[in-house]
Amino acid sequence: MLRRHKKAIAITLASTLLSCGVNPVTKQREFQFVSQDKEIQIGQQNYSPARQSQGGDYTLDPELTRYVQQVGQKLAVVSDRPDLPYEFVVLNDSVPNAWAMPGGKIAFNRGLLYELHSEAELAAVLGHEIVHAAARHGAKGMERGIFMQGAMLAVGLATRDSNYANLVVGGAQLGGQLITSKYGRDAESEADTYGMKYMKLAGYDPSAAVTLQETFVRLSEGKRQDFISGLFASHPPSQERVDENKKTLVELGAGGEMGKDIYAEKMSKLMATREAYKAYDEGKAALQKGDAEKAKALAKKALRIEPREARFQELLGDVALTNKNTTEALAFYDKAIQLQPDYFKPYVQSGIALFNDGKKTQAEPFLKKANALLPTAPGYALLGQIAEGRGETTLALQHYQLAASSDSDIGKESAARAMRIDLPRNPARYLPSGPVADNSGLVFAAVQNNSSVPVGRVQVRMLQYDGRGVVINQTRAMLITGGIAPGKRGMVATGFRILDQQALQNFKVIVEGAELAK
């Protein structure tokens, strides 16, 4: 009877979680957990932080962004889900890549625009990403995670800027999971096929999708690292995909707009600054290797070519901060903020510079602004220290716990700081306890330190129960003294004696208080 009851509960739960629907692109029936409203909500919530983590929006040529948006919208209106609130942005990232989020939120890296040669090739990439959104590929990936694991596990986001790799925290981590997930073969095939159909319907020559995929195969065989770390990481090219695209081309028929001249015209300003971004990328790499002087020279070279770019000022700020010149660093970060006030990094770097200079009150608004744009472990860790210094331990604990969700050294340090605040408040959370007896039958209250910090005195009480679970005896408060190191156990004799080990089940240890080791 109990087994049938459990089976009925499982069936009810499954029917609650899953509903059957029709894929709007393939028209095949499939289980769907994430509704369209939820898809749109997920995209809206994660679009901005994901863009922040990938270099921020490219703002120097608004006409270029409008052009990409126009091409994207031409494809979106002929897609199988024209009702999605599609958005298209160009990101200020040299890595050749493009990605789509649930709900039609699509991003196209500056670095990939360099590699294309026509509007039709741009349409091929955008059409592919539109299918990922329209066919619910991102949503289906989330559904598999929910169904298999029982929860959505947000993973640390490996940002393109290695200074903040794995430092994104909180809800923004989900965005990293969505844009770095690798699509399966079926999803890539669907995106290729239907993307070419959208191209044809929008008036573009779908043969551009074939030649572009052939180019990607050649680049993958040449092991071009920027593509391998970018587009190919989530969209691996193959000869099989080329062959399938050729079959689709036969069905659709070649012919349509290629748009080579218009593409060259729209890319002219971007292409004119390509050397500036190359110098900037080389400068970042030099700074990461410890060569601050080379990084400074390359940043200045980039600025001579394009003085309006905030990232170049930011790099000079990073060089100055590396050289412990706080005043100079803050001046460069301020210039970066003036040029692009909606990007997180110069704010958090300013906060770090001021904090390290002892100006914690001045650092706080910069850190708060940075976290509003993109929550990071450094931002919350320093806000935690500022709050703790003011005696606001509850607020400090909240900040430390958010920072601790980062898989980084800062995250580990923040976890330890959070533990030092929380352990005295909730000792039983970190110090599991129980009764033990020696060979003579003397009962001890034992406490295990499962935290990462040493504990001083621990106050415990022992309860004794009868066979019906009623308390019949208890000790007064007792102290375990001498300290308990992380991973170690401390004990105190209770005065109780037992005749056999089975009797230990009638005792319970309560941890009532604990102090951190001095």
Same fold, 272-425 and 427-516: no
- What's the whole-number mean pLDDT along residues 354-378? 96
The residue ranking higher by pLDDT, 94 or 25, is: 94
- What's the whole-number mean pLDDT along residues 227-234? 52
Residue spans per domain, the chain: 18-266, 272-425, 427-516
The pLDDT, as a whole number, for residue 174 is: 60
Inform me whether the pLDDT recorded for 176 exceeds 90.
Answer: no
Inform me whether the pLDDT recorded for 7 exceeds 60.
Answer: no
The pLDDT, as a whole number, for residue 448 is: 97
Inform me whether the pLDDT recorded for 163 exceeds 70.
Answer: no
Output Rg (C-alpha) for the chain, integer angstroms.
Answer: 29
Inform me whether the pLDDT recorded for 226 exceeds 70.
Answer: no
- Which residues, at least 6 apart from 182, have a Cβ–Cβ distance to it below 8 Å? 233, 234, 236
pLDDT more than 70, % of the chain: 83
Q: Give SS3 for 511.
A: strand
- Which residues, at least 6 apart from 198, have a Cβ–Cβ distance to it below 8 Å? 75, 78, 79, 127, 130, 131
Q: What is the pLDDT of residues 48-61, one digit of tens each?
A: 999 998 899 999 99
Inform me whether the pLDDT recorded for 237 exceeds 80.
Answer: no
Q: Name the least confident of 92-101, 232-241, 323-332.
A: 232-241
Inform me whether the pLDDT recorded for 235 exceeds 80.
Answer: no
- The string of DSSP letters for 362-412 reads HHHHHHHHHHHHS-BHHHHHHHHHHHHHTT-HHHHHHHHHHHTTSSSHHHH
- What's the whole-number mean pLDDT along residues 31-45? 80
Mean pLDDT estimate for the chain: 86
- What's the whole-number mean pLDDT along residues 174-193? 70
Q: What is the pLDDT of residues 262-286, one digit of tens each?
A: 999 999 999 999 999 999 999 999 9
The pLDDT, as a whole number, for residue 225 is: 57
pLDDT band at 157 (very low <50, low <70, confident <90, very high): very low
Q: Give SS3 for 76.
A: helix
Supply the DSSP symbol for 501: G
The pLDDT, as a whole number, for residue 386 is: 98
CATH 1.20.200.10 fits domain 272-425 = no
In CATH, what class is 427-516?
mainly beta
Of 477, 514, 511, 481, nearest in space to 494 by CA: 477
pLDDT band at 181 (very low <50, low <70, confident <90, very high): low
pLDDT band at 391 (very low <50, low <70, confident <90, very high): very high
- What's the whole-number mean pLDDT along residues 325-354? 97
Inter-CA distances, 154 with 37, 405, 418, Å:
20, 10, 21
Inform me whether the pLDDT recorded for 31 exceeds 50.
Answer: yes
- What's the whole-number mean pLDDT along residues 189-218? 91
The pLDDT, as a whole number, for residue 42 is: 85
pLDDT band at 16 (very low <50, low <70, confident <90, very high): very low
Alpha helix segments (H runs only) across 181-259: 185-201, 207-221, 225-229, 231-234, 239-252
Inform me whether the pLDDT recorded for 387 exceeds 70.
Answer: yes
pLDDT more than 90, % of the chain: 69
The pLDDT, as a whole number, for residue 159 is: 33
The pLDDT, as a whole number, for residue 411 is: 92
Strand order from edge to edge, sheet including 489-497:
433-437, 442-448, 489-497
Asked if residue 277 lies in contact with residue 302, where contact means CB atoms within 8 angstroms, the answer is: yes
Q: What is the pLDDT of residues 58-80, one digit of tens each?
A: 999 999 999 999 999 999 999 99
Give the pTM: 0.85
pLDDT band at 512 (very low <50, low <70, confident <90, very high): very high
The pLDDT, as a whole number, for residue 13 is: 36
Asked if residue 385 lies in contact with residue 367, where contact means CB atoms within 8 angstroms, the answer is: no
